[in-house]
Amino acid sequence: MVDYQLSEEHEQLRESVRNFALKEVAPVIGDYYQREEFPYGIVSGMGEMGLFGLPVPEEHGGMGGDYLALCLAIEELARVDSSVAVTLEAGVSLGVMPILRFGTEQQRTTWLPRLASGEVLGAFGLTEPDGGSDAGACRTTAELDGGEWVLNGSKAFITNSGTEITGFVTVAAVTGTRDDGGKEISTIIVPAGTPGFTVAPQYSKVGWNASDTHELAFADCRVPEENLLGQRGRGYAQFLSTLTEGRVAIAALGVGLAQGCVDECLRYAEQRSAFGRSIGSNQAIQFKISDMELRAHTARLAYYDAASRMLRGQPYRKQAAVAKLASSNAAMDNARDATQIFGGYGFMNETPVGRFYRDAKILEIGEGTSEVQRMLIARELGMPA
């Protein structure tokens, strides 16, 4: 029989992160969001808790936990704020995991302890201004010259790429031509501050305003040949693997946002009065909040299923796509309903649901659009490509 009851260790972690989110994040994150400022103090606190090192082995300075532990932490943070949650999600699933999965022992020794402690953040350089969902359309190039890779090109919408604690960006680049005439794509670690590596000003975004997102440019940017991550020519496969894994984590973020909408509406429905009684006594409000809880609960089961399959070493590509699609739908629907329940107050940026509404949309786009998830599910069902 399938049992999704959390272990004692997972439940303790969930509760610990929940308390941190309520006590350390909730009281201050609105100001960071309004100023579009990266919350270094909060991120430092997350590092001290070991959150960035949850799935990292102890010999590399991590907590020696599993990927489900990371997802639980992301969900609890997202119940309060998605900017903080995505900083952790991208920092680990897109920053730490490529080094852990594909790095040499030297690369792991160099980067993992600092990544696991939150001292530095890693970024994931795949998307390009003209690429979008077509990662195979990569135009950034890297050529070997005198024992160094010389990179030229640009990347767009890269999370955690321009903070004061960004340590590197793992860049997908064309390094040659395959035997079949296609592009040979490899991944290369480019440390922050490398000459020729330029970080553009922070984007002005609709949501996730307290997170860090930039366009990057590489102009004759040189790094040592040993900065190749994994096997040459396997970069595209590595990134697909990383994205599949990351979809489980971003699904947890979507569930957290959806559950956060329920949390806020329950409080508001009890406090807000209209026509002489609390609005929570109205069946229409009760039904709407019940539907919101249904969406969050169902999406949570979807990501639990994908995570459990991952941890057992079973195929989970379809389940990850299902979880990502279900959670982003739940987040969007719940954010819309929460805003409606709050009325005019829901349209104000200083309220959590105002932020939730702005933050939800990107979940249908980032780390694989909803259309891409449907395509992946269809292919896993055996339908033609």
- With respect to residue 3, please indicate whether it lies within any of the assigned structural domains: no
pLDDT at position 349: 84
Are both 151 and 44 inside the same structural domain? no
Residue 53 sits in which domain range? 8-121
**Which single residue is written with the structure tokens 């990569």?**
138
> In the prediction, which pLDDT does 179 show?
86
| pLDDT for residue 152 is more than 90 | yes
CATH of the domain at 333: 1.20.140.10
Contact 332, 363 (CB under 8 A): yes
Q: Residues 161-190: what's their mean pLDDT? A: 95
Note whether 295 and 265 are same-domain residues: yes
What CATH number does residue 212 fall under? 2.40.110.10
Same domain, 202 and 253: no
Beta bridge partners of 177: 183
CA distance 307 to 67: 7
| pLDDT of 1 strictly over 70 | no
- Do 274 and 376 fall within a single domain? yes
When pLDDT is averaged across residues 67-80 and rounded to a whole number, the result is 98
**165 within some domain:** yes
**Residues 244, 330: one domain?**
yes
Question: Given 74, 89, 121, which residue is the final one in a domain?
Answer: 121
Domain count, the chain: 3
Residue 23 lies in a domain: yes
Mean pLDDT of 215-231: 98
Kindly state the percentage of the chain with pLDDT values over 70: 98
Pair (108, 47) in one structural domain: yes
- Among the candidates 174, 205, 233, a domain finishes at 233
Q: What is the pLDDT of residue 2?
A: 65
The predicted pLDDT at position 273 comes to: 82
* Domain assignment of residue 364, yes or no: yes
pLDDT at 49 over 70: yes
User: Where in the sequence numbering do the catalytic residues fall?
Assistant: 367
Please indicate, yes or no, if residue 153 is contained in any of the structural domains: yes
**Confidence class for position 3, pLDDT limits 50, 70, 90:** confident
pLDDT the model gives residue 72 = 98
At 4 the pLDDT is 78
So what's the pLDDT on residue 52?
A: 98
Residues 42, 165 within the same domain? no
Confirm whether 2 is domain-assigned: no
272 pLDDT tier (thresholds 50, 70, 90): confident
Residues 200 and 250 in one domain: no
- Quick check: 277 pLDDT over 90? no
Based on the fold, state whether residues 259 and 367 are members of the same structural domain.
yes
> Rounded to an integer, what distance in angstroms lies between the CA atom of residue 300 and that of residue 68?
12
User: Residue by residue, what is the 3-state secondary structure of the chain?
Assistant: CCCCCCCHHHHHHHHHHHHHHHHHHCCCHHHHHHHCCCCHHHHHHHHHCCHHHCCCCHHHCCCCCCHHHHHHHHHHHHCCCHHHHHHHHHHHHHHHHHHHHHCCHHHHHHHHHHHHHCCCEEEEECCCCCCCCCHHHCCCEEEEECCEEEEEEEEEEEECCCCCCEEEEEEEEEEEECCCCCEEEEEEEEECCCCCEEECCCCCCCCCCCCCEEEEEEEEEEEEHHHEECCCCCHHHHHHHHHHHHHHHHHHHHHHHHHHHHHHHHHHHHHCEECCEEHHHCHHHHHHHHHHHHHHHHHHHHHHHHHHHHHCCCCCHHHHHHHHHHHHHHHHHHHHHHHHHHHHHHHCCCCHHHHHHHHHHHHHCCCCCHHHHHHHHHHHCCCCC
Q: What is the pTM of this model?
A: 0.96
Are 178 and 250 in a shared domain? no
Of 87, 104, 121, which marks where a domain is finished?
A: 121
> How many angstroms separate the CA atoms of 301 and 12, rounded?
19
Q: Are residues 112 and 128 in the same domain?
A: no
CATH number at residue 102: 1.10.540.10
Whether residue 244 sits in one domain with residue 354: yes
1 falls within a domain: no
Q: Is residue 352 part of a domain?
A: yes
Kindly state the average pLDDT of the residues 102-125.
97
**pLDDT at 132 (0 to 100):** 65
pLDDT of residue 374: 97
